[in-house]
């Protein structure tokens, strides 16, 4: 029997497959189902910053004390917020009673306003860790990339002051200088980075002349971006790396572990193939490890990282050049 356990965010997971944040992780029943099918942890559906409760009085008090411009809070609908947060903390509490795998709460962050203090409520509710789902689409032409990137560090710092449970950060690859940015983020004291989130993207309906949703689910071909960056960054960061996007089967799981991932997060493949996909992936991993004579993940994790590769230049190569000789 091979040992599939892994360390992620300071926790021991029974295997490296985490059910990522999505509609599949927004109820106790579906989380129990995921546990039954072998998921080693779950990341709850994100609570979106815009949904987070604001105790109106507190906010106003704090804001006026700090001389803040109150108009910046206008976009919050103060009436619905506290109910949403309560529902989220209840979900955490109920999940903690119903399953024995770690439950990671997820917050979607846009601005670093006072809402960060609510992170403590997620910890109190029993969350084992908090994943910050952070992303600003770089379409604000009036702000420099430095200004936008600073917000990441501000939010991390604020949340770190609020909670003592591990914090991970789920990011996109839209950064002006991705490698150094990942490295700097890993040095903030966070426990993990999730590379990468995948977003809703618009498509066009050319008959109706309307913007519509493009593919909601990833495809196996989407694996390559996170695979490359996990492999490049794993020896350069000071925290765990989890792979997200395009992990659809056991082979993709093995590749991400070889790149150096501590764990993978899966979503699309569960929507497309059902939760039983998790046990199928684990069986493929187990069989492969047995064939190769590996007893545990540490025996091969990161074996194909850029630092350990016999051909590190391949990871930096971006132009096709000679590769498609014959194809024009």
Q: Is 268 in the site for ligand FMN (CB under 6 A)?
A: yes
Instruction: Write the binding mask 68 to 107 for ligand FMN: x where contact by CB under 6 A, - elsewhere.
Output: --------------------------------------x-
Pairing status of strand 240-244 against strand 210-213: unpaired
Q: Is 266 in the site for ligand FMN (CB under 6 A)?
A: yes
CB 123 to ligand FMN: min, Å: 18
Chain centroid to Cα 192, Å, comes to: 9
Q: Which of 244, 256, 275, 305 binds ligand FMN (CB under 6 A)?
A: 244
Total number of residues binding ligand FMN (CB under 6 A)? 23
Beta strands in 25-142 (DSSP E): 41-43, 47-48, 103-109, 129-134
Measured CA to CA, the distance from residue 1 to residue 289 in angstroms comes to 10
Which CB atom, from 6 or from 21, has the smaller least distance to ligand FMN? Answer: 21
CB 244 to ligand FMN: min, Å: 4
Number of H helices, E strands in the chain: 11, 13
Q: In what helix (H) or strand (E) does residue 190 lie, and over which residues does it extend?
A: none
In the numeric block, which tokens belong to residue 53? 């409760």
Q: Which stretch binds ligand FMN (CB under 6 A): 69-77, 121-129, 264-272, 287-295?
A: 264-272
Which CB atom, from 59 or from 109, has the smaller least distance to ligand FMN? Answer: 109
Measured CA to CA, the distance from residue 264 to residue 242 in angstroms comes to 5
Which CB atom, from 35 or from 51, has the smaller least distance to ligand FMN? Answer: 51
Which CB atom, from 59 or from 127, has the smaller least distance to ligand FMN? Answer: 127
CB 190 to ligand FMN: min, Å: 15
User: Which distant-in-sequence residues (6+ apart) come within 8 Å of 121 by Cβ?
Assistant: 85, 89
Beta strands in the chain (DSSP E): 6-8, 11-13, 17-19, 41-43, 47-48, 103-109, 129-134, 167-171, 192-195, 202-205, 210-213, 240-244, 263-266
Q: Is 46 in the site for ligand FMN (CB under 6 A)?
A: yes
Query: What is the phi/psi pair of residue 82, to 5°?
Result: -70, -30
260 in helix, strand or coil?
Answer: coil
Q: Is 22 in the site for ligand FMN (CB under 6 A)?
A: yes
Residues 129-188 that bind ligand FMN (CB under 6 A): 133, 170
CB 158 to ligand FMN: min, Å: 19
Site of interaction with ligand FMN (CB under 6 A): 20-23, 45-46, 106, 133, 170, 197-198, 216-218, 222, 244-247, 266-269
């Amino acid at each position: 029997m091979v040992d599939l356990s892994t360390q992620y965010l300071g926790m021991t997971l029974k295997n490296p497959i985490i059910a990522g944040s999505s509609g599949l992780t927004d109820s106790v029943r579906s989380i129990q189902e995921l546990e039954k099918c072998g998921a080693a942890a779950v990341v709850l559906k994100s609570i979106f910053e815009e949904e987070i409760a604001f105790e109106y009085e507190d906010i106003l008090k704090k804001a006026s004390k700090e001389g803040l411009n109150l108009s910046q809070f206008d976009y919050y609908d103060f009436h619905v917020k506290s109910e949403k947060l309560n529902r989220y903390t209840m979900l955490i509490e109920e999940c903690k009673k119903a399953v024995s795998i770690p439950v990671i709460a997820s917050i979607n962050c846009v601005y670093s306003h006072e809402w960060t203090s609510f992170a403590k409520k997620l910890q109190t509710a029993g969350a084992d860790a908090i994943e910050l789902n952070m992303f600003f689409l770089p379409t604000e032409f009036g702000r420099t990339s430095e200004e936008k990137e600073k917000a990441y560090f501000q939010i991390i710092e604020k949340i770190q002051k609020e909670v003592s449970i591990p914090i991970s950060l789920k990011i996109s690859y839209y950064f002006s200088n991705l490698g150094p940015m990942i490295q700097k983020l890993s040095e903030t004291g966070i426990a993990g980075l999730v590379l990468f989130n995948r977003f809703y993207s618009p498509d066009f309906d050319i008959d109706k002349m309307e913007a519509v949703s493009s593919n909601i689910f990833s495809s196996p071909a989407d694996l390559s971006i996170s695979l490359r960056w996990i492999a490049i960054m794993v020896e350069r960061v000071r925290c765990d790396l989890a792979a997200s996007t395009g992990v659809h089967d056991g082979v993709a799981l093995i590749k991400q572990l070889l790149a150096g991932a501590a764990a993978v997060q899966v979503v699309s493949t569960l929507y497309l193939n059902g939760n039983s996909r998790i046990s199928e992936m684990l069986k493929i991993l187990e069989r492969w490890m047995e064939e190769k004579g590996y007893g545990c993940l540490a025996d091969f994790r990161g074996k194909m990282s850029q630092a350990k590769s016999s051909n590190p230049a391949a990871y930096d190569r971006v132009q096709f050049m000679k590769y498609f000789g014959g194809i024009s």
